[in-house]
Amino acid sequence: MFQELKDKKIFEQARKHAYAYSDGISDMDVFPSEENIENLKEFDEPLNDESTEAIDVIDILNQYGGPATTAQTGGRFFGFVDGGAIPVSIATKWLTDFWDQCGGLYLTSPINSKLESVCELWLKDIFGLPSQTVAGFVSGTSMANLSALCAARYRLLKNQGWDINKQGLNGAPPIRIIAHRQVHSSVKKTLVMLGFGSDNIEWFDADEQGRAIPETIPTLDNSCLLLLQAGNVNTGGYDPFAEICPVANKAGAWIHIDGAFGLWAKACNSLKHLTNGMELAQSWAVDGHKTLNTPYDSGIVMCADPEALVTALQASADYIIYTDQREPILYGPEMSKRSRALELWAVMKYLGKQGIDEMVTSLHLHAKRMSEGLTKAGFELINDVVFNQVLIKCSSPDLTKSVLASVQQSRIAWCGGSMWADIPVIRISVCSWATTAEDVDKTIALFAKAYKQANSN
């Protein structure tokens, strides 16, 4: 064993399979066929007693695994605000996979520590955040929300003379949770995980575009955690930060903004007005793997109260050696972790500010094109397409559901359904750098055909 790994055969084999996959991406089923899903049962076997040839491991995975993938890196996967990795980030991942860096400490990876610092500076600049803001590089926005809310909990209790790290939750003064009615499910999950309890949330209302209605926000004080969002997961709508944040800051509340995909509007000259005032918050969560199209496992928490973030997430043990360099584990909940800042750095370095602006703008323009085409084809457009989300429905819930099912079954494009104002809707997220105008037109034609068919049944 291991001897056979010394030559580069398995890597050549993996590369061959990867290139064949990539060459076929625009013609493959966007969602795997039933047969290919059925074939996944090949993996249902007891663990072999003896070892397997390394090249066979790669071949088996390729043979049965490849066809059971969704075409995320093609141009017609419009589900869940998922991006598709930009090739330069995949190449970076290939190279740095050979480095296998544990990104937790400076001593385990000086390069990761350095590029986290560089990404922190670049992101602060792109998003226009206060100079003291620090960033932590985590697995996604779920983890970024968790990290930010830990910091908020620390600070809001500290303000009331309570040290959560020492005194814990039992007997702690209450924190008021003031949440947007349309808050993302990951934020709700985080609130529950942190022990705030869903029954204790004070909800405020959202308008028909899913934006916070400021007048419905309860009177705030310095025990309040205010949860806002940049980019509603259905409509893409943005809360009016410039109106809400100054009032919340005056009251001493902690403002957290979930901007998983939407925060990137700030990087575009033509769209940045959507985020006006967002720099007045105390913490922000954003993904690399959605709008920025990095590979998965890339989320960022940013916090304008470094002491709160670092104290809330701190770890110490005799064997943990901190240097005077950046120590990544201080800014997130993980210890051993992927050096995900390397790909984030690569994508930003490759695109530059103009490239990011162009890419994000083109997601928006393709979403506009999609919405116009679908409206012409007879669909009712529900949202103002301010960013990359297109929300549509048909004249009846049954018709909507049947069109969605037929589009999904075609496997030419894929998107998901959702509920909006208690009515089933179709949700299209244009989030991949790879989407072209032809992809959009092909998808519109697919919807038009499905609509005609469903209507005539």
Residue from 96, 141, 234, 311 in contact with ligand PLP (CB under 6 A): 141
The smaller minimum CB distance to ligand PLP, of residues 271 and 444, is found at 271
Partnered with residue 417 across adjacent β-strands are 426
Residue 225 Cβ vs ligand PLP, minimum distance, rounded to whole Å:
16
Residue from 92, 96, 142, 435 in contact with ligand PLP (CB under 6 A): 142
The smaller minimum CB distance to ligand PLP, of residues 179 and 394, is found at 179
| Residue 288 in contact with ligand PLP, rule: CB under 6 A | no
The smaller minimum CB distance to ligand PLP, of residues 311 and 429, is found at 429
The smaller minimum CB distance to ligand PLP, of residues 158 and 188, is found at 188
| Residue 287 in contact with ligand PLP, rule: CB under 6 A | yes
The smaller minimum CB distance to ligand PLP, of residues 81 and 268, is found at 81
Q: Which stretch binds ligand PLP (CB under 6 A): 17-25, 98-106, 254-262, 405-413?
A: 254-262
Name residues contacting ligand PLP, limited to 166-185 (CB under 6 A): 184
| Residue 260 in contact with ligand PLP, rule: CB under 6 A | yes
What is the rounded CA–CA span in Å between residue 409 and residue 77? 13
Using CB under 6 A, count the residues that bind ligand PLP: 14
Residue 108 Cβ vs ligand PLP, minimum distance, rounded to whole Å:
25
The smaller minimum CB distance to ligand PLP, of residues 58 and 187, is found at 187
Residue from 106, 137, 254, 261 in contact with ligand PLP (CB under 6 A): 261
The smaller minimum CB distance to ligand PLP, of residues 295 and 373, is found at 295
| Residue 115 in contact with ligand PLP, rule: CB under 6 A | no
CA dihedral 80, 417, 273, 372 (to 10 degrees): 120
Residue from 299, 328, 332, 373 in contact with ligand PLP (CB under 6 A): 299
Residue 232 Cβ vs ligand PLP, minimum distance, rounded to whole Å:
7
Residue 345 Cβ vs ligand PLP, minimum distance, rounded to whole Å:
19
Which residue in the block uniquely carries the two structure tokens 């204790």?
200
| Residue 186 in contact with ligand PLP, rule: CB under 6 A | yes
The smaller minimum CB distance to ligand PLP, of residues 185 and 219, is found at 185
What is the rounded CA–CA span in Å between residue 371 and residue 373? 5
Name residues contacting ligand PLP, limited to 223-252 (CB under 6 A): 229, 231, 233
Residue from 258, 279, 334, 357 in contact with ligand PLP (CB under 6 A): 258
The residue nearest ligand PLP at its CB is 140
Q: What are phi and psi of 317, to 5 degrees?
A: -160, 160
For the chain, what is the HEC assignment? CCHHHCCCHHHHHHHHHHHHHHHCCCCCCCCCCHHHHHHHHHHCCCCCCCCCCHHHHHHHHHHHHHHHCCCCCCCCECCCCCCCCCHHHHHHHHHHHHHCCECCCCCCCHHHHHHHHHHHHHHHHHHCCCCCCEEEEECCHHHHHHHHHHHHHHHHHHHCCCCHHHHCCCCCCCCEEEEECCCCHHHHHHHHHCCCCHHHEEEECECCCCCECHHHCCCCCCCEEEEEEECCCCCCCECCHHHHHHHHHHHCCEEEEECCCHHHHHHCCCCHHHHCCHHHCCEEEEECCCCCCCCCCCEEEEECCHHHHHHHCCCCCCCCCCCCCCCHHHHCCCCCCECCHHHHHHHHHHHHHHHHHHHHHHHHHHHHHHHHHHHHCCCEECCCCCCCEEEEECCCHHHHHHHHHHHHHHCCCECEEEEECCEEEEEEECCCCCCCHHHHHHHHHHHHHHHHHHHHC
The smaller minimum CB distance to ligand PLP, of residues 188 and 368, is found at 188
Locate 211 and state its tokens: 């934006």
Residue 81 Cβ vs ligand PLP, minimum distance, rounded to whole Å:
5
Residue 120 Cβ vs ligand PLP, minimum distance, rounded to whole Å:
19
Residue 186 Cβ vs ligand PLP, minimum distance, rounded to whole Å:
4
The smaller minimum CB distance to ligand PLP, of residues 260 and 454, is found at 260
Dihedral (CA of 225, 231, 236, 239) sign? positive
The smaller minimum CB distance to ligand PLP, of residues 96 and 141, is found at 141
Q: What are phi and psi of 340, to 5 degrees?
A: -70, -15
Q: Kindly write out the interface string for residues 56-95 of this chain, putting x where it contacts ligand PLP by CB under 6 A and - elsewhere.
A: -------------------------x--------------
Residues at the interface with ligand PLP (CB under 6 A): 81, 140-142, 184, 186, 229, 231, 233, 258, 260-261, 287, 299
